[in-house]
Chain A
Amino acid sequence: EVQLLESGGGLVQPGGSLRLSCAASGFTFSSYAMTWVRQAPGRGLEWVSAISGDGGRTYYADSVKGRFTISRDNSKDTLSLQMNSLRAEDTALYYCAKNMGRQFLNGMGVWGQGTTVTVSS
């Protein structure tokens, strides 16, 4: 069974940093692009970042470019999101998702349950 388990969320002050992780199991991790999507309380989905299967290509929403860094460790089947210079508007539930194939553009087929990030003083 394909599973994604996010961790690392929490309460952080504005300007602070947080590192999210997503442990994957049940599939050949390196064969799939992976994506982070967030959802602010009571709001819709927002695409955050994606990474190719080999980790060589990364993509970011304009709202997080220069502040967030996506990475993966294919030897440990783990996806990460390093979040720096956090702002109140980054407060959201962060989902890790497995893409349908090597392309990150063609949809997210499996989602984790999410980890909550709250940015507040």
Chain B
Amino acid sequence: QSALTQPPSASGSPGQSVTISCTGTSSDVGGYNYVSWYQQHPGKAPKLLIYEVIKRPSGVPDRFSGSKSGNTASLTVSGLQAEDEADYYCGSCAGSNNVVFGGGTKLTVL
């Protein structure tokens, strides 16, 4: 159960778009449409942003979008806002009986 690979950091200015990648293998990200993305502010519980690669739970702004190509999934945050500064984690099913997370990406809004 190796962790998915995310860049440790990403940044952008207010109003810009930023994309965070999440790379796995054909046994996890590439093999299933069960990729999810979470946002975590310091000292807070994670919040689901995207599930099943592209779906957004109700209440999540459409500035957040997900996609996948091969073994790499991506989260794009458009129209960056100061409150988007947080840690972001991807997760994927890895076979029929377990889940694996990425190491996390710290997003800084410049």
Contact = CB atoms under 8 A, between A and B. Distances in A.
A111 B47 contact: yes
B7 to A, nearest CB: 13
A50 interface: yes
Contacts of A60: 98
Interface residues of B, number: 27
A24 B1 CA distance: 29
A45 B1 CA distance: 13
A109 B99 contact: no
B47 A47 contact: no
Contacts of A47: 91, 98-101
B36 A59 contact: no
B1 A44 contact: no
Given A105-B99, A106-B36, A100 B1 contact: no
Interface residues of A, number: 25
A107 B36 contact: yes
B46 A111 contact: yes
A114 B45 CA distance: 7
Given A59-B98, A105-B32, A105-B93, A45 B48 contact: no
Nearest to B92: A105
A61 B98 contact: yes
The list of the 9 closest CB pairs from A to B, nearest first, reads A107-B51, A107-B36, A105-B93, A47-B99, A111-B45, A44-B104, A45-B101, A105-B34, A59-B97
9 contacts: A44-B102, A47-B98, A100-B48, A105-B34, A106-B34, A106-B52, A107-B51, A108-B48, A111-B46
